[in-house]
Structure 1
Amino acid sequence: MSNDQRHTTASGDDAPGDAGRRRFLVGGSLMVSFAIVPGAAALAQTTTEAGTFNASAPKLPGSLKTTPLLDAWIKIEPDGSVSACTGKAELGTGVRTALLQLAAEELDLSPDAIDLITADTGATPNEGYTAGSHTMADSGTAILNAAAQVRALLVASAASQLGVDASILTTRDGAIVAADGRRVTYGEAVRHANLHRNAQPDAPKKAPARYAVIGRTLPRVDIPGKVTGGTSYVQDLRLPGMLHARVVRPPAYGATLASVDTARVEALPGVVEVVRHGSYLAVAADDEWRAIVAMRELMLAAQWQAGPPLPDPATIHDVLMSLPAQEIAVADRHASTAAPATTLRARYSKPYLTHGSIGPSCAVAHLDNGMMTVWTHTQGVYPLRAGLAELLSMPRDKVRCVHIEGSGCYGHNGADDVAADAALIARELPGRPVRVQLMREQEHLWEPFGPAMTVDASASLDADGTIVDWRYELWSNTHNNRIENAGRLLPAQLLEHPFTPAPPTPIPMPEGGGDRNSIPLYRTPNLHVQHHFLPDMPIRVSAMRSLGAHMNVFAIESFIDELAGAAHADPVAFRIKHLDDPRALDVIRTTARQFDWQPRAARVVKTGTRPRGTGFAFAQYKNLMAYLAIAMEVTVMRDTGEVRIERVVAAVDCGQIVNPDGVRNQIEGGILQTSSWTLFEETRFDKERITSADWSTYPIMRFSSVPKRVDVMLIDRPGLPFLGVGEAAQGPAAAALANAICDATGVRVRELPLLAAKSKNALKA
């Protein structure tokens, strides 16, 4: 594989007043269709390595609050080349295209004239983790505002050079143009402009009516390589002289290595090194297949001492609810209301979920002249750098983490662990790049799973069918075991002197973790929401797409349907009756209209072997990001319990839309992924170990189960803030599906997955 190498260091003599800009140097970049080579000092940051942001400029928009320097985001070289930088990573959401559009809009350039550098501790701002649908709201806002201010500085520089007033100059195609045709290129203008300065609050930007790039569907820049077999993922990365390595994981949680005879493995063809450190085992070879063969022999040679047992999976929710809890009162308000006429109570639950990345996690590490560079699909290059530096006992400025997209994942899968594997093995083989890819069973068995959760809900209606009281309790482990220290990395826990993981802590609201989206947006005069945060984790867990919002919206929106039934009200009308937010009402009414929702005051008993039903759900992600309403129609096959999704209609309001097709991609993808979670997915284990080791034991949605039709309606809000859309569909899609099944069959399934054996039998009845 050829690698296009490009260096983006400053060049040319410093012009007067330009020395400050020249102090901001960016290292070289190896291009694998994106920039990635080791080389320069990392930028000074105003955030902690764990991703906790300390705003140094709180009045600035987006991530300018934490990194206010303009040239941290937009770089113009004397030759006219333009780069935009983001601390966020492309995870398959299409944000590289959208961020390019933002920079191009304010710089009056074509997006393909800009090089976007993403998530590199040697070249980009520290924006913590790419998570929580924050990329557009934080990084996009920073790039948009920085680009506008950089353009203004370039125009001012050109005005001085041309001896004209800046107000009469225009910008296009990388040049500033006067009315008489004289022009100054951006490269010429930047020689007399200091971009190494802090952004200013409330600086002018283009009016949305003038947008030429924002709001247009542009082809995603990451797609061509993916559909043609080109270099797209870290799994594709090949470096000169690279070795291949494989690791041997323990057979179960807590197992320790009793003995291993490595002589036979060391004698195998192509084996370069066997690494043993406590219970950590790995082997490196000159060829990938030879590494796999050696790994299998090493597995056979290893003898393990069993660890403690796991809980009984049949009673796991009872076990979780019995664990010591940190009590968090999420919401508590009281008001005088009419006397309750009806009270409903319900319990909902979800199992552990596996990320199930299509491509097992992979990383490449290279220790060269005392500098450790790791190419990784982590969602947080700066936190990972801190964890690796601690693991390796190296200074942080001697560790560089460069993001390259991985083949599948939203959340905390094995990406950070395998980066630690690669770094540990590369430390033993200085001068040689080392590539490590997990095997399928290692990915499935050892990743941090999405936590199991239990919810108890109760609510009361008055005689008019209005909600007067709402009580909601949830039990959940942490949804964030991302890398706060070396001990959060699995390989660090296997060493002879293991590192201790940082203790789990709740994520404060309004973002929330397990309690994300636990407060309903509906009008509820009496409201109590309690989060029983469980620090003890019988199963290794961490972040999965939308965190607790998937479960909480599923429970709330299922319960709203149950309340609507008790009130003899149409589910859509019942929601509208209890909402005040006009944007929430817009997405609900748009969805109902496009779906041709037929109002119903009571459930009609359906007969036949293939009854159809419709379901509805709504949420605003985190109660502060994108609004989404969704309607589904399903057919239930009574003879088999199979569920077919006939059609889906959704409406989304995510503020100003940058790339319409990109927004649709995210909603469509979220609907499909959540339908898979909701119908099929469940991490399985017994009292000894995780047992869902492959696709046969962890089934996911097949093409035969994909909805026959999905329509996504976009509500654009020009000029309003970007509201993250990547996780907006997770909760509403789950609830709409459950509500549709109930409408079709009369069976209310409250335990996920909906097609588990017990529930499936109920649907057959």
Structure 2
Amino acid sequence: MKKHQPSDTGRRSFLKTTGHLMIGFNLLPLAFCQTKGATNEIPAYPGIPLRPHVDGKLVDSWIRLDAEGFLTVLSGKQELGQGIKIALIQIAAEELDISPDRCRIINSDTGQTANEGFTAGSNSVEGSGKAIRNAAAEARRYLLAMAAEKWSTSPDSLSVTNGTIKSPKGDEISYWKLLEGKHLEGTVTGTAPTKAPRDYRYVGQSLQRDDIRKMALGEPHFVHDLRMPGMLHARVLHPPSYHAKLESLAPTAVESMPGVVKVIRDGSFLAVVAEREYQAVKAREMLKSLAVWSEVPLRPLPRELAESMTTSLGKVEEVQMSPGIAETIKSSTISLQAEYFRPYHMHASMGPSCAIALWEEELLSVWTATQGVYPIRATLADLFSLDEEKIRCIGVPGSGCYGQNGADDVSGEAALIAKKLPGRPIRLQWMRESEHQWEPYGTAMAFRLAAGMDAEGKILAWDTTLWSDSHSTRPNGRAGSFVSARHLDTPFEFRKGGFSAGSYRNGIPEYSIPAKQLQLYNFAGPLRTSSLRGLGAYANTFAMESFLDELIHRAGKDPIEFRLENLEDPRARAVLEKLAEKADWKSRQKTALNGFGIAYSRYKNSTSYFAALAEVDIDKANQTYRLKKLTGVIDSGLVINPDGLRNQCEGGMIQSASWSMLEEVRYDGNGIISENWSSYPILRMMDVPEVEVHLIDRPDTPPMGAGEAAMGPVAAAIANAIFDATGSRIRDLPLKAEKIAWNTL
């Protein structure tokens, strides 16, 4: 295949001398840049994997001044729709005093960016943002020192306007002219002074996101949109259930179908490759009709799951203990115990997972929507017993993720298929049924909570016992993490991990309670699980804040006042106080046909603060309810992009409402039943409530991740609102109307 060549040989020569061969070329990562000067053309194969400066201690591992007069930001974090690209550009542009219009960004490319692990846990701004801020500050100090030496003056006397340094005497020189072909030298020491918040011009502004514009206009943006010369299309036929094995297949009829290039069988791994996509789809349907499988029933069944979890044997993990807590609760004036349950949830990505892979001369390139290009590179190296340096993984946005959906699996499968057809790019896209049935779900969880209060409503003791499967089986160097690697003729072993911390995230109350206890039981459930937005924080907060609402009701207290009385952190109190103000809590119009619910948490007990109010209307005649409005208040420290932060909160609130009201993975002994949008309903546009988000900006504090902060509080707020309206407490998700005790109203 003909490789892509840069057209400007002079620029190429210049970039070679600086060691920045990639910057400015029309290669894939720049095709998804979101600022002026970046091309929209979908590029060809980039060729041999690069070895750029990817040492996180080097300035030019994070920012580079390229030959075209642009600043290029490099980040190992993937754009997942959370707006990280524009936020990181704002941070770099601010520290270097360069207009964001002159900035572009490359995300998640093992050939260009540093290894920042997974894009997960709402850590991108805290991690990558901090690294880029420090690198930009270091670069500014270095450049001002160069200019000061050139003009025999002090760096402190110089100013910068859009990348041009100016002296008191009227001398001017741009960053790019000053470098004259040199690259930014030096390491990131962390000692370079960063700009004071009072001087910010770009941070704190709602700059527009180009990815949203592209999606609105239908322009190429996702990995699904990539088209390459000579590209073939593939489809995989996954087994009908987890433990099914392929017994027999007569592929002749499929191989003779129009456009079919190859049928691939390796153990129970089945795939078809064709010249056109619809030909691959039709061939897969034929494969499905011909394949004969042996199957093993799934157990326990859904009706047995909660009991199976809470009665399972195993060693308890004592996360936090408080001797004598059971007696304290028993002897309290008010004591309460309740059990809660969360079912399996899907990522339910709107577009099925997709990846493109190309083998050429024992070099593998994969265009992937993974959340971790370096971890998946290590996993591919294990799959093929190949040196990691011979694999390049290029991150491209996918159509929905927030955890480990099928993006990693489809990348591994595309590489397996491409290995059989070297020299031609292989585009593999899952079918909808594969996405629903084979993605790793957010795990089911069970909770048993107990607490005791005194006569004045002061909580004296809180005891949590929870049961949970793994919250992370991400590919991180072991090929068995790819689901199809387990189906090969020589299968790779799968080792489940990721228990513990993800399970009890947000499981210990922040409230001022003298005795707190949490015990965890790891449970190996029947379905495949891994990371889903918030991990255990969503269900823990749902259970905790619902149970707290029960205690508040028993004590006859106001839901906001009670929380304020039992929270010491002034920032926690502030989000609740602002929620009460913005929602006009004390003057709310309570009727027999509506209800209001409050919930609060600080994500991970260490990052963003979030308080939520849900308002529901009930319809007694039709025995249903409607989520009318959600109001949220968030404190994420320094706000980089206000509109972006609101986007994150609004999306999280709506997704949480969908999880909480509708979603649960249905299965039986034969496998997953939830294989489409009818059998796995999600919140439709007509049912989306009014959403209102208020921000507390704290410019003098570090920015914190916000993407997962809303998930748990919204779930509990809706449950508490239903109770407020009906007096019926729903303790097991989803919060379906049929679970309300309508006959008692």
Q: TM-score range by the shorter chain?
A: over 0.9
Query: Which letter maps to 2:598?
Result: F
1:438-457 alignment to 2 at 5 Å? 438-457=430-449
The answer to whether residue 88 in structure 2 is matched with residue 99 in structure 1 is yes
The answer to whether residue 149 in structure 2 is matched with residue 168 in structure 1 is no
| Aligned with 1:753 (options 717, 734, 737) | 734
Counterpart residue number, 1:705: 687
Q: How far does residue 502 in structure 1 lie from its aligned partner after superposition? A: 2.7
Identity value in percent: 42
Counterpart residue number, 1:180: 169
The answer to whether residue 271 in structure 2 is matched with residue 282 in structure 1 is yes
Q: How many residues of Structure 1 are paired with residues of Structure 2 in the alignment?
A: 726
Counterpart residue number, 2:219: 230
Query: Which letter maps to 1:237?
Result: L
CA contact (8 A) 1:78 1:191 kept: no
The answer to whether residue 189 in structure 2 is matched with residue 200 in structure 1 is yes
* Mean Cα deviation higher: 488-497 or 339-348: 339-348
Counterpart residue number, 2:547: 559
Q: How far does residue 13 in structure 1 lie from its aligned partner after superposition? A: 6.9
Q: How far does residue 170 in structure 1 lie from its aligned partner after superposition? A: 1.1
Aligned-partner Cα distance in 2 for 1:289–1:12: 44
Counterpart residue number, 2:411: 419
The answer to whether residue 485 in structure 2 is matched with residue 492 in structure 1 is yes
Q: How far does residue 161 in structure 1 lie from its aligned partner after superposition? A: 2.1
Aligned-partner Cα distance in 2 for 1:391–1:342: 57
Query: Which letter maps to 2:564?
Result: I
Query: Which letter maps to 2:691?
Result: V
1:657-736 alignment to 2 at 5 Å? 657-707=639-689, 709-736=690-717
1:600-619 alignment to 2 at 5 Å? 607=592, 611-619=593-601
Aligned alpha-carbon RMSD (Å): 2.5
CA contact (8 A) 2:504 2:536 kept: yes
Aligned-partner Cα distance in 2 for 1:436–1:300: 20
Counterpart residue number, 1:32: 31
Q: Residues 105 and 654 of structure 1: is their aligned pair in 2 closer, same or farther, counting only changes over 3 Å?
A: same
Q: How far does residue 126 in structure 1 lie from its aligned partner after superposition? A: 0.7
1:507-526 alignment to 2 at 5 Å? 512-526=501-515
Aligned-partner Cα distance in 2 for 1:453–1:599: 37
Query: Which letter maps to 1:594?
Result: K
* Mean Cα deviation higher: 333-342 or 407-416: 333-342
Query: Which letter maps to 1:32?
Result: A
Aligned-partner Cα distance in 1 for 2:744–2:532: 31
The answer to whether residue 304 in structure 2 is matched with residue 315 in structure 1 is yes
Query: Which letter maps to 1:426?
Result: A
After superposition, give the CA deviation of every residue in 1:149-206 in whole Å (9 maximum; x if it has no partner): 1111111112222232222111112221222332222112234866342211232011
| Aligned with 1:136 (options 119, 125, 136) | 125
Q: How far does residue 340 in structure 1 lie from its aligned partner after superposition? A: 1.8
Q: How far does residue 42 in structure 1 lie from its aligned partner after superposition? A: 3.9
Counterpart residue number, 1:49: none
| Aligned with 1:644 (options 619, 626, 633) | 626
CA contact (8 A) 1:655 1:721 kept: yes
Aligned-partner Cα distance in 2 for 1:280–1:686: 23
Q: Residues 75 and 747 of structure 1: is their aligned pair in 2 closer, same or farther, counting only changes over 3 Å?
A: same
Indicate the SS of the match to 1:184. Answer: strand
Query: Which letter maps to 1:295?
Result: R
After superposition, give the CA deviation of every residue in 1:273-305 in whole Å (9 maximum; x if it has no partner): 111100000000000000101111111111111
The answer to whether residue 560 in structure 2 is matched with residue 572 in structure 1 is yes
| Aligned with 1:588 (options 565, 569, 576) | 576
Aligned-partner Cα distance in 2 for 1:453–1:574: 27
Aligned-partner Cα distance in 1 for 2:47–2:14: 24
Counterpart residue number, 2:463: 471
Q: Residues 5 and 622 of structure 1: is their aligned pair in 2 closer, same or farther, counting only changes over 3 Å?
A: farther
Aligned-partner Cα distance in 1 for 2:108–2:734: 35
CA contact (8 A) 1:277 1:496 kept: yes
Aligned-partner Cα distance in 1 for 2:744–2:225: 46
Counterpart residue number, 1:149: 138
Counterpart residue number, 2:209: 220
Indicate the SS of the match to 1:222. Answer: helix
Q: Residues 687 and 185 of structure 1: is their aligned pair in 2 closer, same or farther, counting only changes over 3 Å?
A: same
Q: How far does residue 566 in structure 1 lie from its aligned partner after superposition? A: 1.2
Counterpart residue number, 1:359: 351
Query: Which letter maps to 1:589?
Result: E
Q: How far does residue 318 in structure 1 lie from its aligned partner after superposition? A: 1.5
| Aligned with 1:258 (options 207, 232, 247) | 247
After superposition, give the CA deviation of every residue in 1:660-695 in whole Å (9 maximum; x if it has no partner): 000111111111100000000000000121100000
The answer to whether residue 530 in structure 2 is matched with residue 542 in structure 1 is yes
Q: Residues 246 and 13 of structure 1: is their aligned pair in 2 closer, same or farther, counting only changes over 3 Å?
A: closer
Aligned-partner Cα distance in 1 for 2:336–2:525: 31
Q: Residues 225 and 505 of structure 1: is their aligned pair in 2 closer, same or farther, counting only changes over 3 Å?
A: closer
Q: How far does residue 11 in structure 1 lie from its aligned partner after superposition? A: 5.7
Query: Which letter maps to 2:385?
Result: S
Aligned-partner Cα distance in 2 for 1:706–1:402: 35
The answer to whether residue 499 in structure 2 is matched with residue 506 in structure 1 is yes
Aligned-partner Cα distance in 2 for 1:379–1:6: 29
Query: Which letter maps to 2:649?
Result: I
Aligned-partner Cα distance in 2 for 1:464–1:530: 28
Aligned-partner Cα distance in 1 for 2:75–2:743: 48
Q: How far does residue 334 in structure 1 lie from its aligned partner after superposition? A: 6.0
1:323-402 alignment to 2 at 5 Å? 323-333=312-322, 340-402=332-394
TM-score (normalised: structure 2)? 0.93
CA contact (8 A) 1:77 1:190 kept: no
Counterpart residue number, 1:50: none
Q: Residues 194 and 239 of structure 1: is their aligned pair in 2 closer, same or farther, counting only changes over 3 Å?
A: closer
CA contact (8 A) 1:32 1:237 kept: no
Aligned-partner Cα distance in 2 for 1:738–1:634: 10
Counterpart residue number, 2:232: 243
Aligned-partner Cα distance in 1 for 2:256–2:140: 62
CA contact (8 A) 1:747 1:763 kept: no
Q: Residues 703 and 8 of structure 1: is their aligned pair in 2 closer, same or farther, counting only changes over 3 Å?
A: farther
CA contact (8 A) 1:109 1:174 kept: yes
Aligned-partner Cα distance in 2 for 1:356–1:416: 15
Indicate the SS of the match to 2:122. Answer: coil
Structure 2, unmatched stretches of 5+, are: none
Indicate the SS of the match to 1:245. Answer: strand
TM-score (normalised: structure 1)? 0.91
After superposition, give the CA deviation of every residue in 1:629-651 in whole Å (9 maximum; x if it has no partner): 11121102223333212222211
Q: Residues 8 and 435 of structure 1: is their aligned pair in 2 closer, same or farther, counting only changes over 3 Å?
A: farther
After superposition, give the CA deviation of every residue in 1:23-54 in whole Å (9 maximum; x if it has no partner): 998796324334984544345767xxxxxxxx
Aligned-partner Cα distance in 1 for 2:20–2:114: 15
Query: Which letter maps to 2:467?
Result: W
Query: Which letter maps to 2:401?
Result: C
Q: How far does residue 489 in structure 1 lie from its aligned partner after superposition? A: 0.3
Counterpart residue number, 1:530: 519
CA contact (8 A) 1:39 1:122 kept: no
Counterpart residue number, 1:58: none
CA contact (8 A) 1:614 1:739 kept: yes
